[in-house]
Amino acid sequence: MPPPELKVCAVNRHFRLAVAALVLSVLARLAWVLLLPNGMNFVDLHVYMDGSAGLGSGNLYDYTDASKTPDFPLPFTYPPFAALVFYPLHFLPFTFVALAWLLLTMAALYGVVWIALELILGKEALREQHWRTAAVAWTAVGLWLEPVRTTLDYGQVNVFLVLLAMLAVRSTRWWVSGTLIGAAAGVKLTPAVTGLYFVAQRRWLTAVWSAIVFAGTVGLTFLITPGETRKYFGELLGDATRIGPVATASNQSLRGSLSRILGHDVQTGPLWIAAVLVSAVLAVLAWRALGPGDRMGTLIIVQFFGLLASPISWSHHWIWLIPTILWLCYGPLRAAAGARILAGYWLVVTLIGVPWVLMFFQPTIWTISRPGILSWLGTVYTAGVLVFYIWVIRVGRISPVGAVDRSRAQEPHPAR
């Protein structure tokens, strides 16, 4: 057995290597942005800034930006509350906002990794140096996975929203958790699915308060700009085609996958409804297999269901795959047969960026591919989630590791 001094030196060396990897990743990303011809595109950030400038004018939802995407002029697709949040940004120089957004997104990713490890292992474990090293190292890796890569390319808001959801789950105060989720849903509707997590954990007051806060964001914007609020929630909500081409390879929802396989948009018809119902049953059974003590596992199951059921779940929406990989590697089912295979699957698929690669085989983003190998390859995320659910159902209640470790990161009793 090596002496303690050598162990300490090894741990410190690993930490320095992890920090060096993260610093190099950040610098490489900055070089990408500053030196490549299209590095400063940030197409979605342009929409956030320029689109929100029209808040209150009556033209918020008439705005489009085709400067970087001539085949699809990008509209402002978020609720009016998002425009209110983004509104101050248009007073600042775009380059300054873009670089600050980039750095803050990478910092938020570290927060996501840290909280994921905390929810999996417990707060005490994160005091150990090797877990701090793991947090830094996984952040460096995460920067090169497709959901984060494309989020950084577009200047998207996804990592911030995931961080808000994880902070909400981490908190035991109902008003903090509910406010974070309600506000996040006011910016972009998708975080609202986190309310199902609070229902699963029987945090009823938190779930109700998050709905009240979301309603408050709607009420606030109705007072500021009633016409645009009515237009969004009365006319535009649910119009997936306005958000983008439903069947393009980067849409990894059930609707996108089914549409590519069948060669036409299935819309929200019987086939889509049946697929969502099957996913809901599998999600409930997977949650039951885990039990309520596994906060990270429960949150992943809920978020995956939201991504499957949403009409459009772009590949950059799938930031939740990073906590999933961590949960599979370090969570209560880590020793179960298949855990490392699933973790490896998600790691390989996101490092390659399979949906991104498949987009090069599309004549246009509007062309729905006919049945064939490329269509089936385009189910890499949706099929992966369904397999994940089935695996959790199979091993969740029989794994001895799960039985032992469920007590490690139990949800604290919520503060009243």
The closest alpha carbon to 25, from 131, 130, 139, belongs to 139
Question: What sign has the CA pseudo-torsion 354, 357, 363, 365?
Answer: positive
Cα distance between residue 244 and residue 365, in whole Å: 9
Q: Would you call 173 helix, strand, or coil by DSSP?
A: strand
Question: What pLDDT shows up at residue 1?
Answer: 56
Cα distance between residue 284 and residue 224, in whole Å: 40
Q: Which two tokens stand for residue 122?
A: 């417990």
Question: What pLDDT shows up at residue 404?
Answer: 36
Cα distance between residue 206 and residue 332, in whole Å: 26
Containing 324, the helix (H) or strand (E) segment is helix 321-330
Question: What pLDDT shows up at residue 362?
Answer: 85
Question: What pLDDT shows up at residue 415?
Answer: 44
Name residue 332's beta-bridge partners.
Answer: none
Q: Would you call 410 helix, strand, or coil by DSSP?
A: coil
Contact 409, 295 (CB under 8 A): yes
Question: What pLDDT shows up at residue 414?
Answer: 47
Question: What pLDDT shows up at residue 409?
Answer: 46
Q: Which two tokens stand for residue 79?
A: 């609720």
b/e for 47-65, b at 16 or more Cβ within 10 A? bbbbbbbbbbeeebbebeb
Residue ranges of the domains in the chain?
30-405
Contact 60, 51 (CB under 8 A): yes
Question: What pLDDT shows up at residue 67?
Answer: 83
Question: What pLDDT shows up at residue 10?
Answer: 64
Question: What pLDDT shows up at residue 411?
Answer: 47
Contact 251, 244 (CB under 8 A): yes
Distance of CA 375 to the CA centre of its chain: 23
**CB contact set of 360 (below 8 Å; sequence gap of 6+):** none
The closest alpha carbon to 260, from 353, 357, 146, 379, belongs to 379
Q: Which two tokens stand for residue 110?
A: 């570290």
Residue with tokens 């990794």: 113
Question: What pLDDT shows up at residue 110?
Answer: 98
DSSP 8-state class, residue 90: G
Helix, strand, coil proportions of the chain in percent (round to 5)?
Answer: 70, 0, 25
State the 10-residue block means of pLDDT for the chain, 416 residues long: 59 89 96 89 94 92 87 91 97 96 98 97 90 96 97 96 98 97 97 96 97 98 96 88 87 95 92 98 96 90 98 96 98 95 98 94 80 89 98 79 43 45
- What is the gyration radius of the CA atoms in the chain, in angstroms? 21
**CB contact set of 210 (below 8 Å; sequence gap of 6+):** 168, 177, 178, 179, 181, 182, 185, 192, 194, 195, 198
